[in-house]
Amino acid sequence: MDNISFFDTARSRFRSGLAELNRKWGWYLALGVLLIVLGVVCSGAAVATTMLSVMLVGGTLVTAGICLVALSFVTGDWSGFLVTLAAGALSAIAGFAILTSPPTAAAAITLMVGAILIAAGLFRAVASILMRFPHWGWSLFSGIASLVMGGLLVSNWQTAGLFFLGLYIGIDLILHGISWVAFALKTHSLARALDVSETDIRRAA
């Protein structure tokens, strides 16, 4: 294949893929808007979202624990019987503990997240200062921001535990929604700029 035919094929496939995406850009836009709305609702009801998410985690652990215990007895004649049984029992116990006291579980998770942020931020800040790689200032800024966020969570973990997880989920949904909206609008704009149509899909096929 010569260079001209190679580039023609590549251009045709690019236009075909862009036309396929453009044909469904409205669905991507709707998904983004839906995620943004859900994110706003979750952020506005952060406490309820936190409790719901914690209870979901607890229910998942209980279900997984019961399945592991049942699996250990079904396949009892193997060397990993006790390990599987213990893992299932611990998972079920942890799930029941979370379901029994969701606020305490949410506070514990928040404290753990805060400790992880402190450790990660400290490592990132020290590494950026010692290594001085290109644009290391941004890494240092990120590390300091993680340290501050982790410190705030650890110092107020009992109060922050009531709303942190719900607020995090809401912000995450909003950011994902914004990215999908931007993707849909950019795809549609590029397809219009290149005058891509349905014929490009049939031509590539």
pLDDT in tens, 46-65: 889 999 999 999 999 999 99
Instruction: For Cα atoms 35, 110, 62, give the angle at the middle one, nearest 5 degrees.
Output: 80
Q: Output the pLDDT for position 78.
A: 64
Q: Output the pLDDT for position 205.
A: 45
Give the number of other Cβ atoms within 10 Å of residue 169's Cβ. Answer: 19
Are 174 and 37 spatial neighbours (Cβ–Cβ below 8 Å)? Answer: no
Q: Output the pLDDT for position 198.
A: 56
Report the Cα 44 to chain-centroid distance in Å. Answer: 19
Q: In 3-state terms, what secondary structure has residue 201?
A: helix
* Low-confidence residues of the chain: pLDDT under 70: 1-12, 15, 76-80, 196-205
- For the chain, how long is the longest CA-to-CA vector? 69
Q: Cα-flanking dihedrals φ and ψ of residue 196, to 5°?
A: -80, 140
